[in-house]
Amino acid sequence: MTQHNAFSRTARSARTARARGAGRRKHSKRPRPRLLRGPDYPRAGRRGWRRWVPSWRLALGSFLVVTATLATVVGIAYARTDIPKDLNAFATQQDTVYYWADGTPMARTGWVSRQEMPLSKIPDDVRWAVLAAENSDFYSDHGISTQGITRALWRTVGEGDTQGGSTITQQYVKNVYLSQDQSFSRKFTEMLLAVKLDRHVSKDKILQEYLNTSWFGRGTYGLQRAAQAYYGKEVTQLDASEGAFLASLLKGASLYDPAVNPHNRKRAVARWKWTLDRMVEIGRLSPAERARYTVFPEPKPLHKPNSTAGQDGYLVQLAESYAKRAGHISDARFDLGGYQIYTTFEKPRMTALSGAVKDARDTLDPKQRKNDRHVRFGAASVAPDGRILAVYGGPDFERQAFNESNAGTVPAGSAFTPFVYAAGLEHGIAPRRNGPRTTVTPSTVYDGDDGIPVMTPEGPYWDRSGKMVKGRNDGDHSYGRISLHDAMAKGVNSPFLQLGMDAGLKQVRSTAEASGLLPSSFGPPVPAFSMGNSTPSAIRMADAYGMFAAHGMHTDPYSVRKVTRNGEPVRLNLPRTKRAVRSAVADEVTASLARPDGKTGAGSAPPVAAKTGTTEDDTARWYVGYDRTASTAVVVYRMDLAKSLAPLPLKGLGGSSAAGRKLPSRIWNTYTEAMTK
């Protein structure tokens, strides 16, 4: 009983304690733990479409998350985007333009038609015509346009069109760094590069490069070439009206060039007017100036671009070679283009010389006469001061790049004897024994007979084959005792073969070299050296004879007078004039070569001086003549380049010996008469 009561009291005490603890827990202020829940979407307690409308808290939170994510992605992409070091090929390569002596374009070379021009040389009105039409906020934007991007995104998403919205900086980035495709990834990269470029490169630099790399149609890149293609002038000569038209071409030359489609003119005029009005609107053209431009500046008709076909290719070849050498321009740098090469070539002379050769070639009949096949003509006209005025290099550069006017392929023959005469007059005759040199004058007499032996102090000269060397005259004529002046005037060879030995072949060689003939063309130092065993080119022969016209002063031939690159001058090492022989010596040679049959046309002009040239084996025929304005050399020979470089005999050329022998002089006379008229 007692034990049972004790247990009952203990049980009641435990129940009482539990009841008190439960009460304390019920009235405790400690919060109850809650389970994590996701966003209230779809929204609980809503029915129908309202269940799917997010709350403002959810909308704001989602916007902030997306914005932060995009900002992070763009920031990482921007940080990882570097301005490329390598530009598109056409963005750096330019064409090189060659000009005639009068400054008019002659030809251009290069894969692209582009010429750079510094922004400082582009007129402000032309610059702002482009900005007004393309990006009037260029100098204040940050490389991209917010409105433009919005417009582009709207067109992309709403209309499936990815065009539009590009600033000039973006267009430049696309031109020089990226491809021309219209994908979203390319557009995104374009914007990143534009912003980065805007931060690291000046606005003027970006604009300059944009104007130099943009496509303007007619095969041209850049404002400079566009100005030449559409208006035939330099960009520095453009006005606001012409600039406004060229700016319209940036929207698409195929849509605005009247030469492409007659319907384009209406669009071009409307765009031209709008651009000028826009310039007024942004304060870059006054209303008074705008009022001056009422007539649309019609562009030139589309014309065939200059090429290197015909004779022009030979001229370009000569000018390029000389420009590189005189301007110290490496091949790699020259291939980048951008050069303006002002040559010495005169277009009227080129036309006359080409016409004269064609006239002579037309007298040949290679189909009927075997000896009229493989005939080659080389000709060059050089001023006494060294300027190469005209050349005939071959039938067509695109068919034959071998330049016959600049090739040392055949001997000079008796056309070399004036240099022997000049050497004798200049240096005199070496003594037979110890003693002073003997003076040579025009009246000094030599044996002019055909077949006389060539003498040395030891006796007759024998060649290596054991044959006695003898003087030979054209036609085997003998003239007896004859003065050197008359011998030169009549073309008697034997006295000059002996004079060369008497004066010394070393002195003859020195005089010929001082006159302009290249040592590399000289033949071996044997008696035949005085009879022209050397093989000078037509250019070098014309230049060397020009020394006589210049009264003994010589200037190496040159084909380029000035070179610039993108308007900046390139220093040239032009040849210097040096004295080759005394003035009296040169004038005596001229007097002995004076032609009795005419002058250059003007009554006050000096007589024309000229010399024929033949070789003993009749493989080359020359005619070289000059007056005070130009020296011209013509050579005719036969050579089958497909088989050998050995010259072929000229016997039978033209159907008769007389016709064939007169071909060089015929070309010379036809050319000279055309120029004097």
Residue type, 6: A
Domain count, the chain: 2
Residue 160 counted as domain residue: yes
> Is it the case that residue 162 has pLDDT exceeding 70?
no
Say what the pLDDT of residue 1 is: 45
Domain that includes residue 197, residue range = 122-292
Q: What is the DSSP letter of 31?
A: P
Q: Does one domain contain both 279 and 420? A: no
In degrees and rounded to multiples of 5, residue 592 shows phi and psi of -75, -25
Q: Does one domain contain both 288 and 422? A: no
Which distant-in-sequence residues (6+ apart) come within 8 Å of 239 by Cβ? Answer: 123, 125, 126
**pLDDT (tens digit, 9 = 90+) per residue, 334-347?**
877 889 999 999 99
Say what the pLDDT of residue 169 is: 79
> Is it the case that residue 453 has pLDDT exceeding 90?
yes
Domain ends where: 292, 319, 344? 292
Please state which of the ranges 145-149, 358-362, 608-612, 651-655 shows the lowest mean pLDDT: 145-149
Q: Does one domain contain both 267 and 133? A: yes
| H or E element that contains 77 | helix 56-80
Residue 252 counted as domain residue: yes
> Is it the case that residue 155 has pLDDT exceeding 60?
no
> Is it the case that residue 10 has pLDDT exceeding 60?
no
In degrees and rounded to multiples of 5, residue 596 shows phi and psi of -80, -5
Q: What is the mean pLDDT of residues 310-334?
A: 92
Q: What is the mean pLDDT of residues 176-182?
A: 53
Q: What is the mean pLDDT of the chain?
A: 84
Cβ 557 vs Cβ 540: under 8 Å: yes
Q: Does one domain contain both 147 and 286? A: yes
Domain ends where: 265, 292, 319? 292
CATH classification at residue 286: 1.10.3810.10
Cβ 410 vs Cβ 647: under 8 Å: yes
Say what the pLDDT of residue 43 is: 66
Cβ 411 vs Cβ 532: under 8 Å: yes
Neighbours of 629 (CB within 10 A): 16
Residue of higher predicted confidence among 114 and 318:
318
Say what the pLDDT of residue 430 is: 85
Cβ 367 vs Cβ 542: under 8 Å: no
Domain ends where: 253, 274, 292? 292
168-176 vs 184-200: helix axis angle to the nearest 10?
110
Q: Does one domain contain both 144 and 282? A: yes
Which distant-in-sequence residues (6+ apart) come within 8 Å of 392 by Cβ? Answer: 311, 314, 353, 354, 357, 377, 378, 379, 380, 404, 405
Cβ 311 vs Cβ 393: under 8 Å: yes
- Angstrom distance (rounded) from CA 241 to CA 228: 15
- Angstrom distance (rounded) from CA 63 to CA 69: 10
Highest mean pLDDT among 202-206, 255-259, 527-531: 527-531
Q: What is the mean pLDDT of residues 181-197?
A: 59
If we measure between CA atoms, which residue out of 214, 212, 198 comes closest to residue 141? 198
Residue 560 counted as domain residue: no
Please state which of the ranges 5-14, 38-47, 280-289, 433-442 shows the lowest mean pLDDT: 5-14
Say what the pLDDT of residue 515 is: 98
In degrees and rounded to multiples of 5, residue 582 shows phi and psi of -65, 150
Q: Which two tokens stand for residue 309?
A: 């076909």
What pLDDT band is residue 167 in, cutting at 50, 70 and 90? confident
> Is it the case that residue 605 has pLDDT exceeding 50?
no
Residue 286 counted as domain residue: yes
Say what the pLDDT of residue 194 is: 67
283: left (phi over 0), alpha (psi -120 to 50) or beta: left
Residue 247 counted as domain residue: yes
Residue 274 counted as domain residue: yes
> Is it the case that residue 212 has pLDDT exceeding 80?
yes
Q: What is the mean pLDDT of residues 77-84?
A: 50
Residue 638 counted as domain residue: no
If we measure between CA atoms, which residue out of 438, 551, 424 comes closest to residue 497? 424
**pLDDT (tens digit, 9 = 90+) per residue, 388-411?**
999 999 999 888 888 999 999 999
